[in-house]
């Protein structure tokens, strides 16, 4: 363990007399949480980050390729999960403009693309962390092995831990690069889960898959080198949402040699993609086809039968753009931290959460970034909300009232799978507005930022317009230099 980590960890342990908070993950969510927690002198805060620098999944490190060497290594994340952490490829552009990605009081450099590339966003996050001294609170290359509720441990289990347990949570950490090294234990009054939910690929199985002789992979593992291997090949992409659109756009518009043909199969309507003005040329050339259907089975070594009876033939490769599952490995090792949370609908959602942040069964367990289709400003407001809660500046309803609110959210948003997807189309802007104002109703002593809200909605309507029309890729290159709020920076001190 580095001397830097030792110093940070000793400082945290020496201040257990204060309210103590452990943040898991130093990606876009974690650094926001640490920023607001670290401003409070009454709080004792530490963040554990598995990688050797800030960035989370936006940081492409040596472990973002699962080859034979790494598969047999002692990397803690791969041991627990069996896959690499990051789900993005080089030069991926964000799907939010600068204004929707910007942290309060910290402008994005003007020379960066309006829709930032992966390396630009990573640079922005690291500059933000340096500006506020956040690395002073982060222990790097430190993997959270498990979180436990001390009250649910047996006396025998407590005696095996080499520290006197006086707080609500016990957290065990190990070395990220070697899970057998540097085993340490920490305590906390609050644990904030900022490890995201875009790492565990949702892998579907297609009947008769064993007879297919082509390659099947998930977009989670896609990198630029894979695009080159698809040159002049017949590719099928299953799923039609943003991962699919990012990848077929890269292959068709940013690659020197394109696939021979891309066939996109989506369960939901693909008509908006068929009609997209930005795709008409490649559609007419036969480079891409959109089909609304579902897979039935493989019916030969290189063909796929759909439920409609249509057969896709001469397939060289299949890419699954089938989304991601929630997975908090450090909560799972002891019954989802002793039944505080549940995974719903094939792990596509979690709960029960109050305001999609607070565990109703254990309110000192907090989740940031659980909502789908959001932006950095939603995460920042969640970070402000959770910090106010920890400080006692807002009072939660009773458990019964929170559970009723949760049940109401389920009914409103299509059940357990859909209730975290409040910011998705077609009601993107209105759902955002309602969610932010619902959070603010619990807040005290902070003014609501109407200017931020109106500016966000202005840009959100642009996203809504392009996405509804199927022009998701074209949107990322739109000239926004004449927007009236081009130089807007969200203000500190407001919600």
Please list, in sequence order, all residues whose beta carbon lies within 8 angstroms of the beta carbon of residue 47, skipping any fewer than 6 positions away.
22, 23, 24, 25, 26, 30, 33, 34, 134, 137, 138, 139, 194
pLDDT of residue 422: 60
Mean pLDDT across the stretch 201-222? 94
Mean pLDDT across the stretch 243-266? 93
Buried b (16+ CB within 10 A) or exposed e, 55-64: bbbbbbeebb
What are 315-340's pLDDT values in tens digits?
A: 999 999 999 999 999 999 888 888 89
What pTM was estimated for this model as a whole?
0.93
pLDDT of residue 473: 84
Torsion of CA 388, 394, 398, 399, to 10 degrees: -10
What are 224-248's pLDDT values in tens digits?
A: 778 888 999 999 999 998 899 999 9
Mean pLDDT across the stretch 171-187? 93
Over 90: is that where the pLDDT of 303 sits?
Answer: yes
Is 203-321 assigned to CATH 3.40.630.30?
no
Mean pLDDT across the stretch 307-322? 97
pLDDT of residue 249: 93
Mean pLDDT across the stretch 93-106? 92
Where would I find the beta strands (DSSP E) of 294-423?
Answer: 295-300, 303-306, 311-312, 317-320, 324-325, 342-344, 349-351, 353-354, 358-359, 365-367
Same fold, 3-199+325-475 and 203-321: yes
- Give the least confident one: 73-77, 271-275, 280-284, 483-487: 483-487
Instruction: Pinpoint the alpha helices (H) of 254-359.
Output: 271-274, 280-284, 329-332, 335-339
Q: Confidence class of residue 77 from pLDDT cuts 50, 70 and 90? A: confident
Where would I find the beta strands (DSSP E) of 339-399?
Answer: 342-344, 349-351, 353-354, 358-359, 365-367
Over 70: is that where the pLDDT of 427 sits?
Answer: no
Over 90: is that where the pLDDT of 378 sits?
Answer: no
Q: Confidence class of residue 423 from pLDDT cuts 50, 70 and 90? A: low
Q: What is the domain partition of the chain in residue ranges? A: 3-199+325-475, 203-321
Over 90: is that where the pLDDT of 435 sits?
Answer: no
Mean pLDDT across the stretch 275-281? 94
Q: Confidence class of residue 62 from pLDDT cuts 50, 70 and 90? A: low
Please list, in sequence order, all residues whose beta carbon lies within 8 angstroms of the beta carbon of residue 201, skipping any fewer than 6 positions away.
83, 87, 218, 219, 220, 221, 320, 322, 324, 325
Q: Confidence class of residue 465 from pLDDT cuts 50, 70 and 90? A: confident
Is 3-199+325-475 assigned to CATH 3.50.50.60?
yes
pLDDT of residue 61: 67
Mean pLDDT across the stretch 3-19? 95
Q: Which residue has the higher pLDDT, 335 or 162?
A: 162
């Amino acid at each position: 363990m580095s001397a830097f980590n030792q110093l940070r960890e000793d400082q945290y342990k020496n201040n257990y007399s204060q309210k103590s908070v452990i943040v898991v993950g130093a990606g876009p969510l974690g650094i926001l949480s640490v920023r607001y927690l670290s401003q409070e002198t009454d709080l004792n805060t530490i963040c554990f980050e598995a990688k050797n620098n800030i960035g989370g999944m936006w940081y492409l490190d040596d472990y973002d390729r699962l080859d034979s060497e790494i598969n047999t290594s002692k990397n803690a994340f791969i041991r627990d999960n069996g896959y690499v952490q990051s789900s993005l490829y080089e030069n991926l552009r964000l799907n939010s403009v600068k204004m929707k990605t910007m942290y309060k009081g910290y402008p994005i450099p003007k020379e960066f693309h309006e829709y930032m590339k992966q390396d630009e966003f990573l640079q922005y996050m690291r500059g933000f962390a340096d500006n506020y001294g956040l690395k002073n609170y982060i222990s790097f290359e430190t993997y959270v092995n498990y979180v436990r509720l001390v009250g649910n441990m047996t006396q025998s289990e407590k005696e095996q831990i080499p520290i006197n347990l006086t707080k609500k949570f016990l957290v065990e950490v190990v070395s990220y690069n070697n899970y057998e090294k540097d085993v340490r234990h920490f305590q906390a009054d609050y644990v904030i889960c900022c490890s995201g939910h875009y790492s565990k690929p949702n892998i579907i199985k297609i009947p008769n898959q064993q007879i297919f002789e082509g390659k099947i992979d998930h977009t989670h593992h896609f990198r630029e080198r894979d695009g080159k291997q698809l040159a002049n090949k017949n590719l099928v992409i299953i799923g039609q949402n943003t991962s699919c659109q990012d990848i077929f756009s890269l292959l068709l518009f940013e690659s020197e040699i394109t696939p021979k043909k891309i066939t996109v199969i989506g369960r939901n309507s693909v008509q908006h993609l068929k009609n997209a003005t930005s795709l008409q040329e490649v559609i007419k050339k036969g480079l891409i086809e959109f089909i609304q259907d579902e897979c039935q089975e493989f019916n030969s070594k290189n063909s796929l039968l759909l439920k409609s009876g249509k057969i896709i033939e001469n397939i060289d490769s299949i890419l699954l753009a089938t989304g991601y599952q929630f997975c908090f490995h450090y909560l799972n090792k002891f019954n989802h931290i002793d039944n505080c949370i549940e995974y719903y609908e094939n792990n596509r959602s979690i709960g029960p959460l109050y305001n999609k942040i607070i565990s109703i069964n254990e309110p000192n367990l907090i989740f940031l970034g659980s909502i789908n289709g959001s932006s950095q400003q939603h995460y920042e407001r969640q970070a402000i909300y959770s910090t106010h809660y920890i400080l006692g500046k807002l009072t939660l309803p009773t458990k019964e009232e929170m559970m009723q609110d949760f049940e109401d959210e389920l009914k409103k948003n299509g059940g357990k799978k859909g209730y975290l997807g409040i910011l998705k189309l077609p009601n993107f802007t209105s759902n955002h507005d309602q969610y932010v104002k619902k959070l603010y109703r619990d807040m005290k002593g902070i003014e609501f930022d109407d200017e931020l809200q109106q500016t966000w909605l202005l840009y959100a309507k642009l996203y809504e317009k392009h996405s509804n029309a199927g022009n998701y890729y074209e949107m990322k290159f739109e000239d926004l230099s004449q927007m009236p709020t081009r130089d807007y920076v969200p203000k500190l001190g407001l919600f």
